[in-house]
Chain A
Amino acid sequence: MIITTNRRNSPLKFLIWGYIIWSLVPVVIAVVFSFNDGRSRTVWQGFSLRWWFTDPNASVFQNAEMRNAIVNSLVLAFSTIVLVTPLGIALAIGAQRIRGRSANFVQGLTSTPLITPEIVVGAALLLTFTRLFTAVPLGFVAQLLGNVTFSLASVVVIVRARLVSIGSSFEEAARDLGASRWQAMRFVLVPMLWPSVMASLVVVFATVIDDFVITSFLSAGVSSETVPLRIYSSVRGGASPALNALATLLVLTSFTVLIIGLFGLSAWRKKHGERGGLKAALADVTQIEG
Chain B
Amino acid sequence: MDTLHRGLKQANLKRSPGLWAGFAIPGTVWLIALFVIPFYAVACIAFGTIDPIFRDAVPQWNPLAWNFAQAQEIFTSLITGPLRGVAVRTVIYVVCALSLCFLFGFPIAYFLARHAGKRKLLLLVLIIVPFWVNYLMRMLAWVNLLSVDGLFTRFMRNFGVNYNWLDGSPITVILGLVYGYIPFLILPLYATLERLDWRLVDAARDLGANSRQAFRMVTLPLSKAGMVAAGILIALPMFGDYYTNDLLSRSPSTEMIGNQIDFFLNASTEPQKGALLVLALSMFLLLFMSFYLRSTRQQSRQVTR
Contacts and interface: CB of A to CB of B under 8 A. Distances in A.
Contacts of A99: 13-14, 17
Contacts of A188: none
A209 B255 CA distance: 27
B129 interface: yes
A107 B294 CA distance: 12
Contacts of B139: 235
Given A40-B149, A111-B293, A127-B45, A210 B135 contact: yes
Contacts of B39: 124
Contacts of B32: 109
Interface string A244-274: 1001101100110010000000000000000
Interface in A173-211: 175, 181, 206, 210
A226 to B, nearest CB: 11
Interface in B1-45: 9, 12-14, 16-17, 19-28, 30-32, 34-39, 41-42, 45
A286 B110 contact: no
A250 B137 CA distance: 8
A25 B49 CA distance: 51
B50 interface: no
A135 interface: no
A176 to B, nearest CB: 10
Contacts of A232: 136, 243, 246-247
B102 interface: no
A40 to B, nearest CB: 7
B163 interface: no
A152 B205 contact: no
B68 interface: no
B38 A127 contact: yes
- Size category, A interface: 35 or more
Given A117-B240, A131-B41, A243 B140 contact: yes
Contacts of B62: none
Nearest to A132: B41
Given A29-B144, A112-B289, A217-B266, A120 B240 contact: yes
A33 B149 CA distance: 14
Given A15-B111, A232-B243, A288-B190, A26 B142 contact: yes
Contacts of A107: 297
Contact of B281 (A16, A24, A27, A117): A117
A223 interface: no
Nearest to B187: A288
Nearest to B150: A42
Taking each of B110, B144, B145, which has the highest tally of chain A beta carbons within 10 Å of its own beta carbon?
A: B144
A108 interface: yes
B111 A16 contact: yes
B10 to A, nearest CB: 9
A55 interface: no
Contact of B111 (A12, A206, A243): A12
Contact of A90 (B17, B26, B128): B26
Nearest to A229: B136
B151 A42 contact: yes
B156 interface: no
16 contacts: A12-B111, A23-B127, A29-B141, A42-B144, A110-B31, A118-B240, A123-B42, A132-B37, A210-B134, A212-B243, A231-B137, A247-B136, A251-B134, A286-B131, A290-B191, A290-B194
Interface of B: 9, 12-14, 16-17, 19-28, 30-32, 34-39, 41-42, 45, 57, 59, 104, 107-108, 110-112, 115, 120-121, 123-145, 147, 149-151, 166, 179, 182-183, 187-188, 190-191, 194-195, 202, 205-206, 211, 232-233, 236-237, 239-243, 246-247, 250, 258, 261-262, 265-266, 271, 274-275, 278, 281-282, 285, 289, 292-293, 296-297, 304
Given A97-B23, A115-B292, 10 more contacts: A13-B115, A16-B111, A42-B149, A94-B28, A120-B285, A121-B35, A127-B42, A232-B136, A235-B136, A290-B121
